[in-house]
Amino acid sequence: MANYDIKNIDLAPEGKKRILWADKDMPVLAEIRARFEKELPFKGLKMSCCLHVTAETANLMRTVTAGGADVVLCASNPLSTQDDVAASLVKDFGVSVHAVRGEDNETYYKHLNAAIDHKPNITMDDGADLVSEILKKHPELYDHIMGSMEETTTGVIRLRAMEKDGVLKFPVIAVNDVQTKFMFDNRYGTGQSTIDGIIRASDVLLAGKNFVVAGYGWCGKGLADRARGMGAHVIVTEVDNVKALGAVMDGFRVMPMAEAAKIADVICTVTGDIHVVRGEHFEVMKNGCLVANSGHFDVELDLVALSKMAVKTEKDIRKNVDAYHMKDGRVIYVLGEGRLVNLACAEGHPASVMDMSFATQALSSEYVVKNSGRLDKKVYVLPHEVEQMIASTKLGTMGVSIDTLTEEQRSYLTSWEAGT
């Protein structure tokens, strides 16, 4: 059996059921897996992956191992690991997993280093912690790594900063920036799973509530739409004029957080930035306000400031809910310790959307291997044809067909002569 550090191997049967349940909604990935099994694109290669350890990720791990990769998986967030899935990956699928839900910071980095000790040829990241650790401490791996995949907006921002500073030492594929990822995962995945996490944690009725969405990127758009669909009065906060204008024209109220915090029943951050909700906002919130974050890192809520302001903090007054008692008698409830609420308090994005994200991951890894030696130490996106191919396969599995261009249309679209 693979080497591992997980909660309990006896949880494997439950985890296997969840992995197979997710698999039935991941037909694009299954098709890639069947091809990989025959073609073995990763034969003889080592892969280290730092991802949320979920049933959907397990199916990605099955796909790359089917392609011949020797894989080590660690968690990309201390609170997102599904321990039963980790157990099944080790026991049933021979993947080496180092992840335990609720692990402390020291264990998180111990697990990350187990993935680095594997001496990978390919890495996969969700947040860029793995690449960042390699670049800081492991120069011996720079030339060994053919390329790295990055799953999320926050990670891509970090990687572009590395490229700009000239410290990136191998090519990276920004999986997040591929249309078949961000247009669906960020919007519909985050939209639905964030609402799911908030409801599972708090059992709040959203109809008629003031629901504040901080950040109107693709994730914020998805969340605002879904909250509106549940009957909430949605308020958007933004720092970007164009995005704010977009929110106004999509029919949302837009105002600064200092105003929104006064009337909010629920606040959820999805910005990727630090201290979006801070002392001055906690100061004016109503009694009973629910506060959550669905951005990658747990820095969007300034919980250090909240702890200092509170006269008493009660942990887990209900699973995944901490109560902060303020000196004027108000109580503010923080969900999932301010970590991404969709994974900490629910199961993350549904498998059907992760199907496309992880098909993109799998094909990006294959692309890196096929183009090994030809890519610069830069951040890339996948060629347009790959996105088209993933979307076309997904449509096919949904029984949807579309039109094709006629010769006349193709030539019209590529000519400049025809006009008024």
What residues line the site for ligand ADE (CB under 6 A)?
Answer: 51-52, 54, 56-57, 189, 343, 348-349, 354
Q: How far is the CB of 92 from ligand ADE (least distance, A)?
A: 18
Q: How far is the CB of 105 from ligand ADE (least distance, A)?
A: 20
- Which residue, judged by CB position, is nearest to ligand ADE in the bound state? 348
Which is nearer to ligand ADE, 54 or 88 (by Cβ)? 54
Q: Tokens 């059992």 appear where?
A: 203
Q: How far is the CB of 55 from ligand ADE (least distance, A)?
A: 7
How far apart are the C-alpha atoms of 335 and 293, rounded to whole Å? 8
Q: How far is CA 187 from the centre of its chain?
A: 11
Q: How far is the CB of 219 from ligand ADE (least distance, A)?
A: 10
Helix (H) or strand (E) holding 309: helix 303-309
Which is nearer to ligand ADE, 332 or 341 (by Cβ)? 341
Q: How far is the CB of 45 from ligand ADE (least distance, A)?
A: 22
Which is nearer to ligand ADE, 209 or 349 (by Cβ)? 349
Which is nearer to ligand ADE, 210 or 271 (by Cβ)? 271
Handedness of CA 131, 28, 223, 341 (dihedral sign): negative
The residues, any chain, with a CB within 8 Å of residue 335's CB and separated by 6 or more, are 197, 198, 201, 202, 290, 291, 292, 320, 321, 341, 344, 345
How far apart are the C-alpha atoms of 120 and 118, rounded to whole Å? 6
Cβ 67 vs Cβ 39: under 8 Å: yes
Which is nearer to ligand ADE, 61 or 289 (by Cβ)? 61
Cβ 168 vs Cβ 179: under 8 Å: no
Distance between start and end Cα atoms, the chain: 70
Q: How far is the CB of 190 from ligand ADE (least distance, A)?
A: 7
Which is nearer to ligand ADE, 264 or 353 (by Cβ)? 353
